[in-house]
Amino acid sequence: MKNCLLQFVKTKLRSIPFRTKLTYYLVITICLTVLIVVSFSYTVTSRSIKQQAKDMTMLQLQQNSSNLEDYLKSIESISDSIVTDRSLQEYLSKPDMDRVDFSDTVDDVYRSMSNIMGSKRDILYVFLFKAIDSNVLYLGPTKAGQNSDFSNVAALLFKSDISGSPIRVGFRQDPVLKKKYTLTVYQPIFDMYRIKRPIGMLGISVTEDVVARFYSNTQRDLPLETFIMNGQGIIVSHTDKSKISTNARLDEILDKKDGSTEIDGKLVVYKYIEDWDWYVIGTLPINYLLRDNNVMLLAILLIVIITVFLASFISLLFSKHLLRPFNDLIYRMSMVSRGDLTTRINLSDHGYDFEQVSKGFNLMVEQINVLMQRIVDEQKQLKEIEFKALQSQINPHFLYNTLESIHWQALMSGQREISTMVKALAGFYRITLSRGEAIIPLRSEWQHVENYLTIQEMRYKDNMESYIDISEEFLEVMIPKMTLQPLVENSIYHGLRVKQSKGFIKITAVREGDDVIIKVIDNGVGMLPHQINNLNRTLEDNDTSVGYGVRNVHRRIQLFYGKKYGLFYESNEYGGVTVNVRLHINPVTSL
Amino acid sequence: MKKVLLTLIVLIVILPLSSCYYYESQMGMTTQRTQKKQITLYSIQGDSAVNEVIADSVKRFEQSNKSFEVVHEMIPNDLYKNRLSVCVATNQMPDVFPTWSGSVLKEYISIGGVINLTALMNIDGYVSRFNEKAIEMVTVDGDIWGVPVENMAIAMIFYNKNIYKALNLSEPTTFTQLKDNVKVLKENGYIPFALANRTGWTGSMFYMYFVDRLGGPEVFDNAANRKNSGSFDNKVFIQAGEMVQELVNMGAFPKGFNWKDEDSGDARNLLYNETAAMILTGSWFLSNVKFESPEFYEKIGVFPFPVVEGGKGDPYNTIGTMGDNFYSVASSCNYIDEAFELIQYLIDDTAVQKRIEAGKIPPINNVHIKDPLTYEVLSYINKSPNVQFWYDQYLPPKLSEAHLTLTRKIFGGEDPKRAAEEMEKITQQYYDQ
């Protein structure tokens, strides 16, 4: 089945004209090239787009997160300068008291705190927790009505493993300003003179908004979603506040490293901030990146379609142009095959190869023509030779003279019959053996055949009689010599002689267009249809075994007049056979 | 034929290239944004309600002026003065900024730092929208230099009605009655007055009222403006200091009040958790409560500062301001008309309505106030023959600071006479320079 199909396709392909094939091949080649080029550039661009997006996002995240880190570090470092501040130490080492000098100390502490607030614009509040009496100095937005709670500070401060390094508490609902969502850096403060005795805690809080400013995407047309996730995979800071405290569902990237990956159709780029155990994360929907690629895909499709059209058009033009010399060649070939050997071709305009082809073709046709001509000439010569050989078999003069003598002697002795007969015989041979023209006027041929008939009538006095009835107009028609005599002879020997009753031979001529048909009619025994057919066919054969005389006549006529002329046998209404001799009315004398 | 082929080749080459370019421009590598014209606006961080009103006004301004962008910065009250002086010193004045009028504004006028708004204010009689007393506060030598935007606020005594009722107290009309109430409250474990006096201006209200009730507004006017041989060591100032100390010694104020911070809400918290019964503060207190502890609002009662027996002052006199924040346009501003328009947005009808809802009294004529407490405050303002502007904002910065420091010291136990002399000494030095 498969083979059948293959075969079918093969045959189909083979039957397609060369030009169409050429067009197909060209179109396919061009389309393939275009597809390869375009798909290559598509792959390259889309890859570079992705990479670019990744790099850009990473770069932005790196910038953002390093800014953020710097900011947070700077907040941590603010407290460094004041932990050893004298008035701060003094304030923290004594419980509150209503005294003017204490009030001054508190003022100093406030001033320090105020400096902290002033040094960084984005600080929400600063507070100082005193360990002795849990009093708090606070600078920041009003905490009135907010049920502020500093108990967590005490808890942190009285932990056994407390050290001098800042305690970072990531985003959560602020214990002091309940309505805010903040991160706080707690700086434990130790007694300067007694190592390892915490006397207070400085707290600096920053709202989530401030931190969000560092990473939030400023390019609004880019759907880059950035947020901060803590080490447990919980979002701690997000521009969309409703997502805070929800799980980011990005557990697979919790490896405390930077990197990028693709999750749920999103490009996720992340940067780890070690101090806070945070990941600054940027996500970009991949289909946003590929949005442009889809446009490109469409463009490619368009290009391919345009290319196919263009390619088809161009290929058609191309093939037409390329195949013009072939068409010419094919046309000339067909002319040659129809027998026109005079045709010539000139394809030198189409390039060197076609010049060679046309040269070869012309040479070939030329040579065929020469060969053909030679063969025709040779044949003609051969026939002439054959004929002349026949003629030369008899020595004519001797025969004439003898016959002339016989004629006169018979006439003088009163032998009229013999005289007539001999005279006819002499006349017969005069023409037969005359070495003149091979082609003679019908008038002469008439005399010739009449002489012959005279002799034969005398021989078969009781068996036959003959009439010759040819109108004047045909008498100048040229006819090969000895054409009618063999026909008449055939009629007598094969038709009349074997017949019991008396028969006749009649020779007439009719005109048919430019041809004249001489009819030799007998009423002899006749022939069966298949015999006639056989005979007619044999005339065309070169088979020498059958009816040499008749065929020779036929061939000679054809040699002189052409293929359509010659003999044709048919039965006639007298029961005998009619031989039609077709001649041209104005024979080409040159032949 | 060749042309067609060429076109094809060009197409094949150019199309992917052009798409590359397309991507590049899409990736935002070359995008440029049209820079908007900027107007910087400072505002003093008030309670959220006011912040929202201002933010909303800014937004409306930006919507109708698409080519402008307002860079709005809110600065906490106590840091504000300092920030402004830094801005002047570094020549980075915001385009639009508030002052409390008084000495600060006068100083900016004197250095040519603000624009004379008289012409702009008189377009279509815009000025008539405002309370005359408020406009008066920003009028210097007949020219208007600022636009009153925020609250008209006077200092009054707000108290917890529940506590008063429980202890069977009544609103005092005299200082003696007040002291009695303080005693009763103290005996019952309440803090009579909530006060956070770290910055001094809160305690200063007591001092100013005592001065006013004892000697009338002329005493301060004479002393501050150095006329009619007025001085800060006047007997009235000393007496006022003594009365302050009387209250301090009675334990009328919470422990450590002198370093409690007003902006942090330390004082109000004492009221909200009902450990304190009263507070002498500006009427902005009402909007604070509305925002911070709405359930407490119902418990608030209000009465004017009581009369001091034998004092010369009119009992209806009040201390306060007729506009609180007055917005001026810096002379460094490039878009004066737009800046003024921005100010107009801050106090347009929408903003006025919102301020009223937030419990404020906008400094414009014909305000319709439904809230009974606010209305009561407004009626006191209307009744008041004289609204004494806060000393600390009326006085030049140096004297203002001296006043606040010394008053705070009086609260801390400093001898009132010494304090008064010190004040007078500083004032004389200041004017002698």
Burial of B222 (0-12, 13-18, 19+ CB in 10 A): middle
A101 within a domain of the structure (yes/no) = yes
Q: Are B246 and B175 in contact (CB under 8 A)?
A: no
Strands (E), B30-67: 37-45
A569 lies in the same domain as A446:
yes
Give the CATH number for residue A113.
3.30.450.20
Q: Are B128 and B421 in contact (CB under 8 A)?
A: no
Rounded to whole angstroms, what are the CA distances from B17 to A34, B3, B64?
Answer: 14, 21, 43
> Is A144–B11 a contact, with Cβ atoms under 8 angstroms apart?
no
Q: What's the CATH code, domain B37-151+324-363?
A: 3.40.190.10
Q: What per-residue confidence (pLDDT) applies to A411?
A: 86
Find the domain containing A363 and state its range.
341-388
> Is B45–A141 a contact, with Cβ atoms under 8 angstroms apart?
yes
> Is B293–A219 a contact, with Cβ atoms under 8 angstroms apart?
no
Per DSSP, helices labelled H in A343-441 are 352-391, 396-412, 416-433
Q: What per-residue confidence (pLDDT) applies to B154?
A: 92
Q: What per-residue confidence (pLDDT) applies to A132?
A: 87
Count of A–B CB contacts within 8 Å?
A: 120
A243 within a domain of the structure (yes/no) = no
A 200-259: CB under 8 A from B: 219, 221-222
Q: What per-residue confidence (pLDDT) applies to B236?
A: 94
Q: What per-residue confidence (pLDDT) applies to B22?
A: 46
Tell whether A39 is within 8 A of chain B (Cβ). Answer: no
CA torsion sign, B253 to B255 to B258 to B261? Answer: negative
Task: Report which of A300, A259, A295 is spatially closest to residue A279, judged by C-alpha positions.
Answer: A259
DSSP string covering A533-585, please? Answer: HHHHHHHHS--TTS-HHHHHHHHHHHHHH-TT-EEEEEE-TTSSEEEEEEEES
Contacting residues of A for B265, CB less than 8 Å apart? 142-146
Q: Are B98 and B327 in contact (CB under 8 A)?
A: yes
What is the largest distance, in Å, between two alpha-carbon atoms of chain A? 207
Distance from the B264 Cα atom to the nearest Cα atom in chain A, whole angstroms: 4
A86 within a domain of the structure (yes/no) = yes
Tens of pLDDT, residues B106-149: 889 999 889 999 999 998 889 999 988 889 889 988 899 999 99
Radius of gyration of chain A (CA): 65
> Is A144–B28 a contact, with Cβ atoms under 8 angstroms apart?
no
Residue of A nearest to B45 (CA): A141
A360 lies in the same domain as A451:
no
Q: What per-residue confidence (pLDDT) applies to B183?
A: 95
A372 lies in the same domain as A472:
no
B11, B27, B264 member nearest A139 (Cβ):
B264
Contacting residues of A for B77, CB less than 8 Å apart? none
Q: Are A271 and A13 in contact (CB under 8 A)?
A: no
DSSP string covering B212-254, please? Answer: HHHH-HHHHHHHHTT-TT--TTSHHHHHHHHHHHHHHHTT-S-
Helix or strand holding residue A487 (H, E): helix A484-490
Residue of B nearest to A124 (CA): B76
Helix or strand holding residue A498 (H, E): none
A579 lies in the same domain as A446:
yes
Helix or strand holding residue A206 (H, E): strand A198-207
Helix or strand holding residue B157 (H, E): strand B153-160
User: What are φ and ψ of residue B227, in 5° steps?
Assistant: -130, 165
A143, A222, A303 member nearest B15 (Cβ):
A303
HEC letters along A345-364: CCCHHHCHHHHHHHHHHHHH
Residue B108, Cβ neighbours under 10 Å: how many?
A: 21
Contacting residues of B for A303, CB less than 8 Å apart? 11-12, 15
Helix or strand holding residue A325 (H, E): helix A286-337
A402 contact partners, CB below 8 Å, separation of at least 6 = none
Task: Report which of A343, A333, A341 is spatially closest to residue A369, judged by C-alpha positions.
Answer: A341
Q: On the CB side of B78, how many CA atoms lie within 13 Å of its CA? A: 22
A444 lies in the same domain as A574:
yes
A141, A292, A314 member nearest B23 (Cβ):
A292
- Helix B397-412 crosses helix B201-215 at what angle (to 10 degrees)? 90
Distance from the B84 Cα atom to the nearest Cα atom in chain A, whole angstroms: 13
In the 8-state DSSP scheme, what is residue B283? T
Q: Are B401 and B82 in contact (CB under 8 A)?
A: no
Interface probe for A, chosen from B1, B8, B290, B411 (most Cβ of A below 10 Å), is: B8
Tell whether A314 is within 8 A of chain B (Cβ). Answer: yes
Distance from the A142 Cα atom to the nearest Cα atom in chain B, whole angstroms: 4
**Domain edges within chain B:** 37-151+324-363, 153-321+390-432
A56, A145, A219 member nearest B272 (Cβ):
A145
A96, A295, A307 member nearest B256 (Cβ):
A96
Which residues of B have a CB under 8 Å from any CB of A?
1, 4-5, 8, 11-12, 15-16, 19-20, 22-23, 26-28, 31, 45, 47, 76, 78-79, 82, 198, 255-256, 258-259, 261, 263-269, 272, 288, 292-293, 296, 409, 412-414
Q: Are A209 and A191 in contact (CB under 8 A)?
A: no
Tally of structural domains, chain A = 3
ipTM of the complex: 0.77
Quick one: B153-321+390-432 is in which CATH superfamily?
Periplasmic binding protein-like II (3.40.190.10)
Rounded to a whole number, what is the distance in angstroms from the first to the last CA of chain A?
65
A571 lies in the same domain as A457:
yes
> Is B5–A135 a contact, with Cβ atoms under 8 angstroms apart?
no
A38, A42, A107 member nearest B259 (Cβ):
A107
Residue of A nearest to B33 (CA): A219
Rounded to whole angstroms, what are the CA distances from A491 to A100, A488, A499, A581?
Answer: 176, 5, 11, 14
Radius of gyration of chain B (CA): 27
A45 within a domain of the structure (yes/no) = no
Q: What per-residue confidence (pLDDT) applies to A591?
A: 41
SS3 label, residue A164: coil
Interface probe for B, chosen from A142, A213, A313, A321 (most Cβ of B below 10 Å), is: A142
A112 within a domain of the structure (yes/no) = yes
Residue of B nearest to A107 (CA): B259
Q: Fold match between B37-151+324-363 and B153-321+390-432?
A: yes
**Cα B33 from Cα A250, distance rounded (Å):** 34
Tell whether A141 is within 8 A of chain B (Cβ). Answer: yes
B16, B79, B292 member nearest A144 (Cβ):
B292
Residue of A nearest to B290 (CA): A145
Q: Could you list the pLDDT tens digit for every one of the 591 residues in chain A?
A: 667 888 888 887 777 777 778 778 877 887 788 788 878 887 887 788 778 878 888 888 888 888 888 888 888 888 887 777 888 888 888 888 777 778 888 888 988 888 888 787 788 889 999 988 888 888 888 888 777 888 888 888 888 777 878 888 888 888 888 888 888 889 888 888 877 788 899 999 988 888 887 777 666 667 788 888 888 888 888 888 788 888 888 888 888 888 888 888 888 888 888 888 888 888 888 877 777 777 777 887 888 788 788 878 887 887 777 778 888 888 888 888 888 888 888 887 778 888 888 888 889 888 988 998 889 888 888 888 777 766 666 566 777 788 888 888 888 888 888 888 888 888 887 777 766 677 888 888 888 888 888 888 888 887 788 889 888 888 888 888 888 888 888 888 888 888 878 888 999 999 888 889 999 998 888 888 888 888 888 877 765 555 667 888 888 888 888 888 888 888 888 888 899 999 888 754 444
Interface probe for A, chosen from B1, B7, B12 (most Cβ of A below 10 Å), is: B12
**Cα B338 from Cα A33, distance rounded (Å):** 62
Task: Report which of B406, B316, B377, B429 is spatially closest to residue B153, judged by C-alpha positions.
Answer: B377
Distance from the A84 Cα atom to the nearest Cα atom in chain B, whole angstroms: 21
What does the angle CA A119 – CA A123 – CA A126 come to, to the nearest 5 degrees? 90
A563 lies in the same domain as A478:
yes
Residue of A nearest to B199 (CA): A107
Distance from the A41 Cα atom to the nearest Cα atom in chain B, whole angstroms: 7
Rounded to whole angstroms, what are the CA distances from A241 to B194, B219, B339?
Answer: 37, 56, 33
**Cα A462 from Cα A450, distance rounded (Å):** 18
> Is B76–A117 a contact, with Cβ atoms under 8 angstroms apart?
yes
A368 lies in the same domain as A451:
no
The residue from A388, A418, A453 where one domain ends is: A388
Q: In the structure encoding, which two tokens stand for residue B173, read together?
A: 């009309």
User: What are φ and ψ of residue A392, in 5° steps?
Assistant: -75, 0
Which residue has 């000339």 as its token pair?
A332
Q: Could you list the pLDDT tens digit for every one of the 433 residues in chain B?
A: 455 555 555 555 555 555 444 444 444 444 445 578 889 999 987 666 788 889 999 999 999 988 899 989 888 777 788 888 888 888 889 999 999 888 888 889 999 889 999 999 998 889 999 988 889 889 988 899 999 998 888 999 999 999 999 999 999 999 999 999 999 999 999 999 999 998 899 999 999 999 999 999 999 999 998 988 889 999 999 999 999 999 999 999 998 888 888 888 889 999 999 999 999 999 889 888 988 888 999 999 999 999 999 899 999 999 998 887 899 999 999 999 999 999 999 999 999 998 888 888 899 888 888 889 999 999 999 889 989 999 988 898 889 999 999 999 999 888 999 999 999 999 999 988 7
Q: Are A256 and A272 in contact (CB under 8 A)?
A: yes
Tell whether A98 is within 8 A of chain B (Cβ). Answer: yes
Distance from the B305 Cα atom to the nearest Cα atom in chain A, whole angstroms: 24
Interface probe for A, chosen from B264, B268, B295 (most Cβ of A below 10 Å), is: B264
Task: Report which of B168, B365, B224, B204 is spatially closest to residue B280, judged by C-alpha positions.
Answer: B204
Residue of A nearest to B29 (CA): A56
A563 within a domain of the structure (yes/no) = yes
Contacting residues of B for A54, CB less than 8 Å apart? none
Tell whether A27 is within 8 A of chain B (Cβ). Answer: no
Residue at A260: amino acid letter: S
B242 contact partners, CB below 8 Å, separation of at least 6 = B416
Which residue has 């025969």 as its token pair?
A399
A138, A145, A311 member nearest B292 (Cβ):
A145
